[in-house]
Structure 1
Amino acid sequence: MNKDFLPELRHLGFTARIKRLNEKIVSSTIDHYTGLNLKIEPNWHVIFLLLKQRGRLTVTEIANALGFSHPAMIKITRKMKGQGYLETFKDEKDGRKTLIQLSKKGKKALPALEKEWDRIQEVLKEVVKDDFLEKLTQLEQELHKKSFKERYSKRFNPEKHDKTFIIRNAKSSEFKEIGALMVSVYSKLEGFPKVHEQPQYYNALANIGDFTKKPDSELLIAVSPSGEILGGVLYFGDMQYYGSGGTATLEKNASGFRLLAVSNSARGLGVGKALSKTCIANAKKKGHKQVIIHTTDFMKIAWGMYEKLGFKSSKDLDFKQGNLQVYGFRLKLK
């Protein structure tokens, strides 16, 4: 047998080894299911078990619970439905929302499948030790906290964001371009309502410059040396003009910021963080005691960034924008 080259590469061979290992396990599992005459595929078990526990879910909710992409979940659930294991129906409260649950066939097959998955788990325990699973969890958590791109930038270009962009107030001549950027970013968020679903919201994004007509409101942008607009955010020094649903506009002695967007070309440069920090700095200059923001399940990257900056979930600020659940956060200032 030829000597395995990938281990020689150490960390450079890591992702290739993970991919190779996954392919071997998937191939072997397919052969195993075929031998048992089971018409299921590898990883379908996670859908079965999730729906057993939670009943009815949308594709987006399944994707969020498992950490997989929305398109991948659509592909898997369609295959499972094709085999008769799942059924779909429209939500009675929201006809635009499709719910997924185990079908009668799926529920009937589940006990036998669970028995087989228990056996598979016993076999995997022989080669996958508990400490490996713990290290895998730690790896996932570390990469969730800070991506590879962010880590690379910090190590080799620690001041890169300072050299590649500045934060300033937008000019009126830039409002249209910023609005187009906002619409582009938000409409491409996986699972987020699209233009035809919330036209008023997207109209507000397209005309984001109109917010600056309100007292103590600023449209802040990140601009590259060449003049390219990399991202933007709305800062409100007076919460009565914040413009969101819920009770946020009633908050006193507080600043807020909304509609943070970063272009795809600027991801990993720290633009979102820099814009957020500028808003926080503005609030401190005003002597405010807190900063208010909102986010959704479809903005997990930004959500994680806000938590790192010290924002804490505040359920009293939560509200619904149509059928979209919006979550409120507070940052207490010293």
Structure 2
Amino acid sequence: MSDVEIRPPRPEEYGAAGEVTVQAYDVDGHLAGDVGYDAELRDIARRVELAEVLVAVAAAGEVLGCVTIVRPGSAYAEISRAGELEFRMLAVAPSARGRGVGEALTKAVLDRARASGLRKVVLSSLDGMHAAHRLYERLGFTRLPERDWRPFPHITLIAYQIDI
């Protein structure tokens, strides 16, 4: 991954980061039945305002992936509690899959937690995001079933955690 830089997005990259996020969700069918979520995924400017956003950028300047890091009680927090960092909307461009981009972004989140003195990182994931679940489990995340939840009757989110 030496050819990929993980950093906050520049304003001129917001559009590309939003599109990468929508494409990543859409190509796997994760936007089906969730009218309007694509607009939230595209809105990098709002996420940057209310959370921390990181992008993975290739040496040539192409945005390959994106993740949103949130604190408990903040606008984008879903399941985090005091002492925990949460991340959401991890996405890798379909053309960049298999290159370690998702792993690099996830490790950057873990680094942010450590640097902040936090002891745990949590996340919610659609129950059908099997590739993401394999990544999380390979990195040491474990299921946190007591925090599984349903934002809508047809959408199930399953929770993961890692102690760092």
Instruction: Name the TM-score, length of structure 1 as normaliser.
Output: 0.47
What is the correspondence of 1:13-52 to structure 2 with a 5 Å cutoff? none
Q: Does structure 1 residue 203 correspond to structure 2 residue 36?
A: no
Aligned to 2:28: 189
Of 231, 235, 240, which aligns to 2:65?
Answer: 231
Percent identity of equivalent pairs: 28
Aligned to 2:163: 332
Work out whether residues 221 and 229 of structure 1, in 8 Å CA contact, stay in contact via their aligned partners in 2. Answer: yes
Work out whether residues 52 and 68 of structure 2, in 8 Å CA contact, stay in contact via their aligned partners in 1. Answer: yes
Work out whether residues 232 and 262 of structure 1, in 8 Å CA contact, stay in contact via their aligned partners in 2. Answer: yes
Find the residue that maps to 2:82 and give its secondary structure. Answer: coil
What is the correspondence of 1:301-316 to structure 2 with a 5 Å cutoff? 301-316=131-146
- Return the offset for 1:326: 0.4
* Counterpart Cα distance in 2 of 1:269 and 1:187: 19
- Return the offset for 1:242: 5.7
* Counterpart Cα distance in 2 of 1:198 and 1:265: 24
Aligned to 2:86: 256
What amino acid sits opposite 1:167 in the alignment?
Answer: I
Q: Does structure 1 residue 220 correspond to structure 2 residue 54?
A: yes
Greater relative contact order structure (CA < 8 Å, 6+ sep)? 2
Aligned to 1:173: 12
Gaps of 5+ in 1: 1-160
What is the correspondence of 1:55-66 to structure 2 with a 5 Å cutoff? none
Work out whether residues 31 and 37 of structure 2, in 8 Å CA contact, stay in contact via their aligned partners in 1. Answer: no
Aligned to 1:142: none
* Counterpart Cα distance in 2 of 1:179 and 1:203: 9
Name the structure with the higher helix share.
1
Residue by residue, what CA displacement relative to the aligned partner does 1:216-248 show, whole Å, maximum 9, x if unpaired? Answer: x21101111110011110112x22126255xx1
Find the residue that maps to 2:17 and give its secondary structure. Answer: helix
Residue by residue, what CA displacement relative to the aligned partner does 1:102-134 show, whole Å, maximum 9, x if unpaired? Answer: xxxxxxxxxxxxxxxxxxxxxxxxxxxxxxxxx
Aligned to 2:74: 241
Alpha-carbon RMSD across the aligned residues, in angstroms, is: 1.5
Cα separation, partners in 2 of 1:319 and 1:261, compared to 1, 3 Å: same
- Return the offset for 1:296: 2.0
Find the residue that maps to 2:59 and give its secondary structure. Answer: coil
Show structure 1 runs of 4+ deviating over 6 A.
none
CA radius of gyration, larger in: 1
Instruction: Name the TM-score, length of structure 2 as normaliser.
Output: 0.92
